[in-house]
Copies of this chain bind each other. A is one copy, B any other.
Amino acid sequence: MFDNKDNRTELSELGEFGLIKHIASSVVLNNTANEKGIGDDAAVIDMAGHKTVVTTDMLVEGVHFDLTYVPLKHLGYKAVVVNLSDIYAMNATPTSLTVGLAVSNRFSLEAIEELYAGMLLACEKYGVDIIGGDTTTSPGGLSICITALGMAKAEDLTYRNGAKENDLICVTGDLGAAYLGLQILNREKQVFLENPKMQPDFEGHDYLLERQLKPEAGKKLIESLKKLGVKPTSMIDISDGLASELFHICEQSACGCRIYEDKIPIDIHAGLLADEFNLSSLTCALNGGEDYELLFTINPADYEKIKTIEDVSVIGHITRESSGLAMVDKGDGEIALRAQGWDSFRKNNL
C-alpha cells in the first residue's frame, strides 16, 4: 500500500546501526534544552530548574491502527500528537521524544521513512525534538512506543485532582468526530473487502477523517491560558471519551459533576453522519474517544477570561462528591454518566 515495489530497500540490507544512522540524519535538534540526542547510550536534557514531565504511549498494529486505511505518515503524526496531548494536559510544554519501534520485515526502509516523516512533521509543528529511541524487528506487525518529555514551572503544573465544588467544566474544540471518522474508514474498508474494485467514498467527510487520522494536541489552549494568566484547577486530555475523563477528574478530585447536553460541542458534520450510521452523536461525544481535546476545570472567577478564548465551551460544573456524575438532558432530566470509554482489553467497546 505505502510501498512502490520498484523502490524498496530491505531493512536487512542496512542493519540496525545503518537504520539508526539513516534515521538520525534526518533528525535535527531544535530545543536548546536537548543537549545530546541520538547517538550515545542516552540523551541528555537540561531542564534548567523546571520540572520534567514524562508520558508513554504504546500503539500496536491491529489494536490501535489498521494500515489498510491509515497512511504511515499520518500514523507517525498521530503517534507523536497523542503523547504531546498528555504533556499539554499537565499545563506543560513538550520538548523531547524517544521512539521505540518494532517492525516486521514486510516494512521497507521507505515505509519507515514515511512513518518518521509524519513524526518529524508533528515535531516541527509543536517544536519538539526526537532525542533517542530503539528500533528492532518484530515477528509480525508494527508497534510504536513513544515517550514524551516536557517541562513546566512547579506552580504551573495542573493535575487531575484539583477540581473544587462550583468550578466550571470546560472543553476545547468539538467531540465525537474522531470516532465517526473511524466509522467511515471501517465502512469503506468493508466495501473494499467485498469488492476491491470499488473506490472508497470519502466525499464530504474531510473534517471527520482528519479528526481521526491527523488529530492535533492542545498547544493553543496552553498558550492562551498562559497569556490570560489562568491556571485550570484540574485538566486531562480526552483520549477515551468525555465521560471516562470526567470520571478520572471526579475520582481523583473527590467530587461529582453536572454537564449539560445542550452545551456539549458537536460538529455539524458529526451530527449528520451519526444519523447516517444510526448512532447518537451524543454517545459518540461522551464515549467515542480519540478527540485529543482538553477537558479542564476553572475557578468561576476566571469565567470572564476563559470566555475570550475561541474554541472553548463551558459544559457544566463540579458538584460535591455525593451527588455523583450526571448529564442534564435537553428536557432537564438527569442521566447518570457511565465511563464507557475505549478499553483495548475488553471485547466490546462502545
A16 to B63, CA, bound (A): 13
Tell me if A52 counts as interface (CB < 8 A to partner B): yes
Which residues from B are CB-within-8-Å of A11?
Answer: 345
A80 to B52, CA, bound (A): 21
Contact B41 A90 (CB under 8 A): yes
Q: Which of A92-100, A183-191, A261-269 forms contacts with chain B? A: A92-100
A140 within 8 A of B: yes
Q: List, in ascending order, chain B residues with CB within 8 A of A102's CB.
A: 58, 60, 63, 143
CA distance A131 to B39 in the complex (A): 25
Cβ of A124 under 8 Å from chain B? no
Chain B residues positioned under 8 Å from A89 (CB to CB):
41-42
Shortest distance between the CB of A13 and any CB in chain B (Å): 9
A323 within 8 A of B: no
Nearest CB of B to A317, in Å: 22
Minimum CB–CB distance from A152 to chain B (whole Å) comes to: 8
A256–B46 CA distance with the chains assembled, in angstroms: 32
Q: Mark A36-69, 1 if CB is under 8 A from B, else 0.
A: 1001111111110101111111111111100000
What's the least CB distance linking A217 to chain B, in Å?
11
Question: Would A44 and B136 count as touching, CB distance under 8 A?
Answer: no
Q: Specify how many copies of this chain sit in the oligomer.
A: 2
Is A43 a contact of B49 with CB atoms below 8 Å?
no
A55 CB contacts on chain B under 8 angstroms: 41-43, 98, 132
A170 at the interface (CB under 8 A from B): no
Cβ B56 vs Cβ A145 within 8 A: yes
Residue-wise interface mask of A (2-35) relative to B, using a CB-CB cutoff of 8 A (1 in contact, 0 not) = 0000000001101111010000000000000001
Question: Given B44, B61, B85, B92, which contacts A90 in the complex, CB threshold below 8 Å?
Answer: B44
Tell me the minimal C-beta distance from A140 to chain B in angstroms.
6
Q: Which residues of B contact A54 (CB under 8 A)?
A: 42-45, 96, 98, 131-132, 147, 149
Q: Write 11 A-B pairs (CB below 8 A) sorted by A numbering.
A: A19-B345, A41-B86, A42-B54, A45-B53, A46-B51, A54-B147, A56-B134, A60-B102, A136-B344, A143-B143, A145-B145
